[in-house]
Homo-oligomer: A and B are copies of this chain.
Amino acid sequence: MSQPAYVAVDWGTSSFRLWLVDRTGNVLAERRSQEGMTAAGRLGFPAVLQSHLDAVRAADGLPVIICGMAGARQGWVEAGYVDTPAPLASILKQAVAVPGQHRDIRILPGIAQRDPKAPDVMRGEETQLLGALGMDAAGDALVCMPGTHSKWVSAKRGTVERFATFMTGELFDVISRETILTHAVAGADDATDAEAFKSAVISAFETPANAANLLFQVRSGQLLHGGTPSSAREKISGTLIGLELAGGLAGQVPRNGITLVASGRLQMLYQLAFDTVAVPVRTIGAEDAVRRGLSMAAQSIWNV
Residues on A lying within 8 angstroms of B by beta carbon are 112-114, 116, 118-121, 149, 164-168, 170-171, 174-175, 177-180, 207-213, 215-217, 220-221, 223-225, 240, 243-244, 246-247, 250
Contacts and interface: CB of A to CB of B under 8 A. Distances in A.
B217 A120 contact: yes
A209 B174 contact: no
A248 to B, nearest CB: 8
22 contacts: A119-B221, A119-B224, A120-B220, A121-B220, A121-B223, A121-B224, A166-B213, A167-B216, A168-B212, A170-B179, A171-B175, A171-B179, A174-B174, A174-B175, A177-B178, A178-B178, A207-B247, A208-B208, A208-B211, A209-B243, A209-B247, A213-B247
Q: Is the interface of A mostly helix, strand, loop or mixed?
A: helix
Contact of A166 (B118, B216, B223): B216
Nearest to A199: B117
A114 B224 contact: yes
A211 B171 CA distance: 11
A232 to B, nearest CB: 12
Given A116-B225, A121-B223, A212 B171 contact: yes
A170 B164 contact: no
B166 A112 contact: no
